[in-house]
Amino acid sequence: MMLHYLNMVNFEKLYHNVALHVIERCHGAIKITKHGKIIEVYDTKRHIWSDGLAGLIIKEECRNSNLKDWEFANVRGYVIRELLEKSKN
């Protein structure tokens, strides 16, 4: 039971680190509503603002970290939490 808990903590750290990579890649230029919906994101690799690009950036960063497709939603949640925390400060 304890081993399962330790694995979950490691996954949470991994998801959080990947979320920070996503934010860093966009230089924090992610527009988000106060309810946590991503509106628009700026991708420095493509040099464009887009409303549908957030998912693609998250997907690319997750693949770079060897995460599975079903883990993308967890990373997106961490991106949203991190941005909401930064907006409160």
Q: Where are the domains of the chain?
A: 25-88
Give the global pTM. 0.77
Q: Per residue in 12-66, pLDDT tens? A: 899 999 999 988 888 777 887 777 777 788 877 778 888 777 888 889 989 999 8
What b-and-e string marks burial along 3-29, b requiring 16 or more CB atoms within 10 Å of the CB? eeeeeeeeeeebbbebbebbbebbeee
